[in-house]
Structures are given as structure tokens and as C-alpha cells.
Structure 1
Amino acid sequence: MKTAARFAQALLAATLMVLFAGKGTHGAEPPRPSERAVFFPFCIDWHDAKKRGFTEQAEMLKELGYPGVGHIWLDGVEERIKSLDDAGLKLFQITIQVDIDPAKQPYDPRLKDVLKRVRGRGVQFALLVNGMKPSDPAGDERAVEVVREIAGLDPGTDAEFLLYPHVSNWIERIEDAVRVADKIDRPNVGVMFNLCHWLRVCPDRDYATRLKQAMPRLMAISINGADERDDQPGWTKYIQPLGRGSFDMAKFLRTLRELGYHGPVGLQCYGIGGDTRDHLQESLKAWRRLTQ
């Protein structure tokens, strides 16, 4: 009898362990982006009417409630890190340029030292890849070679390397990024979906299909307020403070949630004029409203 009782108790305990181990991953509604995703701005330097330096930017971000920021290019990385560390904030991304033209230098030689400097910080590097006409698969082999080299520059790195679709670049579409990332096939190499560039190059507006295809490699996205359509050049309609424009951002974020995306969300701020504090505050309020 004692043996049977002990067996029954063990069976019950094992059953409960299985049930509770599965709770939260099966049957429950996926968390909203705000429950896991970090939301950080980038491209906040160039168009700020106040011309804030890194320290002033960090103080402003801290006051507004942002957890950190993205940095553009490799100039000033050390100063950026210090300003963020002093404010208790995080450096989320560094955007760099990559060139697959065999006649040109493929990447900034300072990258190796920067990788060592940010080791342990979980920084993502957003790669703008150029060197051939947009979307030309003839560049795939060279791109695989270059990006694998970049991803292996620092064997101890915890950085991730994201192929960043950008209008008029070789990697112009999210489909290009996914195709090349699949060929690179490295765990620290993925893709980033950028709303403003996708709006410019993808007229059918079927983001759900693209996001689903990208999910196995999707490591970051960028969003902003935008209009659904704009046939004019420039970014006035496709890059606005979050919460503005006719594009249905709530539906977009809901699609991401349904697909199971909970990674970083960057706020694209390129070209937005005036006092950066004003539009950052407006966008953060919109983010909280959209993800509450």
C-alpha cells in the first residue's frame, strides 16, 4: 500500500510539473509588445532644433522615460556609451554601412574595436548594405562572405547583426534581408523590418505576409507615425511622430503580437524637425496608449 501511495504521489507531482511548465507558453494570449518589447528612439541627432549633445540627449531620454537609444555610425561611440552609462540607460543599436562592391572597403575598420568595447552589452548592429543595384541576387555570395566576416570579428561578442532594408540600397526590401540572412545562416545574424522603408517600396501593403516570412530571422523592427500612401519624394508623410498619420498602427502591432514577436521596437525619428523632446514625448505617449 505504501509503495502504491508513493507511486500515486510521484505521478501527481510529475503531472503538475508538466502542467505548470507549459503554462504561459500554451493556451495563453501572447504578451502585448509593452510587456516584453523595449521601445527606443534612433536618428535623434541630426534634426533637433536644440542641437543637444550626447549627455543632454541621455538626460532628456531619462526624464521622458525611454530606456536607451540607438546610435548612428561609429563616430562618437565611446562618448555615447559614457553618456548612457552615467544616466543608467542602454545602447540598443549601432547603425553601420556595409559595401559588397569587391573594389571597395566592405566595412569601417574601427568595427572590430567597437565590438570589443560593447561586449556584454547586448548591442545590435543594423547593417545598411549597398554596392549593387537594389535586390539583385547576384550580390548574395559576396554579401554572405562579408557579413559572416563581420559576425565573426569578435568571437566573444554577444552582439547581433541585423540586415536593415533601406530604400535604394542593395538590401532594399525585407524579402532581400530574409533571403540573405537565410544564406548567411548564423545565429547572431538576422533581419530588421523598417516600416517607413517598407511603405516606400511595397505598394501592396501586405505586411502580414512579409512579417510571417521574416519571423524566424526577425530580431528588431522600427516604427513611426505614417500615412498609408505618399506618392511624393521625401519622408514627411512616411516618418511622423508615433500616433499621427493614417496608417493603422494598432493593427500592425496586433499582427506582430499574433505572430509572437516580442523583440526590440525602434522609433524612427529621421527628418522630424523642431525640438526633439516634443516629438519623443508625443511618441512615447502614443506607444503607451497603443500597448496598454
Structure 2
Amino acid sequence: MTNFYNRIFTLLLLVAIQACFDKACYAQSIAKYPFFTYTFGGLSQYDIPKQVKLLTGLGYDGLAVEVTKAVDLERLEHYLQYSQEHPGFKVFSVFVRYNFDDAEADKDRWREVLKKIKKKDINLWFIFGPKRTGVTDNTLDSVLKVVNSVALVNKVQMTLYPHSLCYISSAEQAMPFVKRVGSPNVKLAVHLCHEVRAGNGARIGEVVKNVRQYIGAATIAGTDSVADFTSALKMDTTTIKPLDRGNYDVRIFLRALKVNRYKGPIGFINFKIAEKPEDYLDRSMRIWRKFKTEIL
């Protein structure tokens, strides 16, 4: 009888150990892939406390904040202050745009951003605008090296952000620039919507494999397999949808990220989504949780 109870005790102990192990593995998985969205898609119509309450209530881990105009700097300050007061909410990145024909004050706004996010574990996302006469790869190389030198002083990770209809429109186009900077502080982003627009949706696994050493950020959205370029609005709405919309299988991209060992945050870009944020953000979070359980 004593041996029987010993066997039962051993079995229960093993079950408890396995449960703790599973719980630890689940927590580790959660930590690998924080999920955030952008300050787009109707969110900007709400004040920051309401945005944060909505997002945290639905399970989002934070935001990517746009600073492309002077007025955005003050708004960034409010986001940063709010994130300090609410530990469950994080500003993951701040994205700026460098348009070659802008005034110097606008082109140099990234300097003010770096001051504000200094030593805060917030990524600077850097977008180069459309091509202009006289602008060459050397021009971009010079700018990137200057920006990175200041980012290093401020202890801020920098990510080159490919954007459709701009000088750099895909991750593979971004890679040579990142390689020439030659700094581990400079990475690149892989955005599903911009890759689909670049014609890379069907070969997204190959794209991720080619740039895997340099990935610093990744974003998803519901999208159609082929972008509609008949108008700017069509381009946006066919490649940026809630995660339960579109005929492209987003899981293909997520599997490629996992296979190539990307374990960082993943963003949901919600640019110009016309539905109520409460609705599409809720539905997208439900889909994200399914994706994460199934793939990541």
C-alpha cells in the first residue's frame, strides 16, 4: 500500500512540475511577441486616456506614435508621460519622415524626437520620402549615418522603415542601406502591407529569409493578395484591413518570422480603417490571439 501511495505522490508531483513548465513556456512565448497598433484608424479622435483604456482593455500592449509634423511633438510628450504613469502601456516606436524637399526644420525633426525618447527603450522608425532629382543612394547613406550617430549617443535603436511610393519601398531594398551603415544599432522593418504593394506577397517567406539578420520590426494587417493601384485610397484599403478581412493568409508571414527567429514586437497597422476602433480592434485582437496560439 505504501508503494501505491508513493507512486500516486510521484505522479502528482510530475503533473505539477509539467504544469509549471507549461506555464513558464507560455509566459515566455507571450513575452516574445508583444502586440501593438498605430495612432491611426480613428484612435486619434480620442484623447490619450481613452485610447489607452480601449487598447489595454482589449489586450494591446501599446502603440507606435507618429511624429511627422511639428504639432506631433507635443502629442508625443503626452504619450510618453502617460506611459510612465501606466506601466501596462508602452510606446514601442516613434516614426518620423525625411522628405527631401522639406524645410530643414522638418527634415531634422528626428533630432527632437531622439531627445524625447532618450534611454526609454523606444525605437526610432525612419522613413525616407519619395525620390527627388539629385537624391542618390549616397544621400541616404550620409543621412542614415548621421542619424545613427545621434541615436547611439541617446541610446535609441533605429529602424529603417520601407514605405510604398517612397525611395525605399520594401525590406529587400532597405537591406543594402542597413549593411552599408554597418552598425548593429540600425535594423530594418518588414511591413506586410508594403511588401504586398511591392509585389512580394507570394514570396514573403523568401523576403524574410533574405533580410532576417537585420529585422528590427514587423507589422501585419489584413490584406488582399494583390494591391489595387487604381487610386491611393484603393491601394490603402486593399492592403490595410482589420485582421479578419482580406484574402491573403497572414499566417504565411507569421510563420516566416518564426522560422527565421524573429521574436520581437509585432504591430498591427490600422491606417485609414474607417470602422469604429472599438469594433475592428476587438476583432483583430481575437484573430491575433488565434494566430499566436497556432503559430508563434
Sort the TM-score into its range (normalised by shorter chain).
0.7 to 0.9
Q: Paired residue for 1:59? A: 53
Q: Deviation at 1:107?
A: 5.5
227-236 or 161-170: bigger deviation: 227-236
Distance 1:114 1:190 in 2: 18
1:264 matched to 2:260: no
CA distance in 1, matches of 2:198, 2:292: 27
Taking a change above 3 Å as real, the CA distance of residues 170 and 230 of structure 1, as seen in their structure-2 partners, is: closer
Change (3 A) 1:37 1:158: farther
Identity %, equivalent residues: 23
Aligned to 1:92: 92
CA shift for structure 1 position 100: 4.7
TM-score for both structures, normalised by structure 2? 0.79
Question: 1:274 offset after TM fit, Å?
Answer: 2.4
Counterpart residue type for residue 166 of structure 2? N
What is the aligned partner in structure 2 of residue 23 from structure 1? none
Say if 1:70 and 1:91, in contact at 8 Å, map to a contact too. yes
Secondary structure of 2:258's aligned partner: helix
Aligned-partner SS, 2:244: coil
State whether structure 2 residue 189 is matched by structure 1 residue 192. yes
Change (3 A) 1:106 1:278: same
Name the residue aligned to 1:39: 35
Letter in structure 1 aligned against 2:124: F
Alignment deviations for residues 228-274 of structure 1 (CA, whole Å, 9 cap, x no partner):
12434322221111132211112221121111111221110001012
TM-fit CA distance, 1:133: 5.4
Q: Distance in 2 between matches of 1:180 and 1:33?
A: 32
Per the TM alignment, residue 223 of structure 1 is displaced from its structure 2 partner at its CA by 0.3
Letter in 2 for 1:63: G
Task: Tell me, yes or no, if the aligned pair for 1:99 and 1:106 is still in contact at 8 Å.
Answer: no
Counterpart of 1:207 (choices 181, 204, 207) is: 204
Q: Whole-Å Cα distance in 2 between the matches of residues 79 and 130 of structure 1? A: 27
Q: Aligned to 1:247, what secondary structure does the other structure show?
A: coil
Q: TM-score, length-normalised on structure 1?
A: 0.80
Whether the 8 Å contact between 1:106 and 1:146 is mirrored in structure 2 is no
- Taking structure 1 as reference, are residues 173 and 33 closer, same or farther at Cα in structure 2, changes over 3 Å only? farther
Q: Contact 1:33–1:253 (CA<8 Å) still a contact in 2?
A: no
Q: Distance in 1 between matches of 2:278 and 2:86?
A: 16
Change (3 A) 1:204 1:270: closer
CA apart distance, 1:80: 1.2
Task: Tell me the CA shift for residue 69 of structure 1.
Answer: 0.6
Cα-Cα RMSD? 2.7
**What SS does the aligned partner of 2:268 have?**
strand
3-state SS of paired residue (1:151)? helix
Q: C-alpha distance in 2, partners of 1:36/1:182?
A: 25
Return closer, same or farther for 1:155/1:246 CA change in 2, 3 Å cut-off. closer
Q: Which moved more, 1:113-122 or 1:188-197?
A: 113-122
State how far apart, in whole Å, the 2-side matches of 1:141 and 1:70 are: 29
Q: Distance in 2 between matches of 1:268 and 1:70?
A: 9
Q: Determine the structure 1 residue equivalent to 2:239.
A: 238
**Aligned partners of 1:198, 1:116: CA distance in 2, in Å?**
31
Runs of 5+ consecutive residues of structure 2 not aligned to the other structure: 1-26
Query: Structure 2: how far apart are the matches of 1:149 and 1:127?
Result: 12
Tell me which amino acid in the other structure corresponds to 1:280. Answer: L
Taking the TM superposition and a 5 Å limit, the aligned residue runs for 1:1-292 are 34=30, 36-44=32-40, 47-48=42-43, 51-73=45-67, 74-75=72-73, 76-88=75-87, 89-100=89-100, 105=104, 108-130=107-129, 132=131, 139-202=136-199, 205-231=202-228, 232-233=230-231, 234=234, 235-292=236-293
User: 2:30, 2:245 → 1: CA distance?
Assistant: 19
Amino acid at match of 2:199: C
**Which structure has the higher relative contact order (CA within 8 Å, separation 6+)?**
1
> SS of 1:205's equivalent?
helix
Which runs of 5 or more residues in structure 1 are unaligned?
Answer: 1-30
More helix by share: 2
Alpha-carbon distance in 2 for matches of 1:237, 1:99:
25
Amino acid at match of 1:40: F
Give the counterpart letter for 1:176 in structure 2: Q
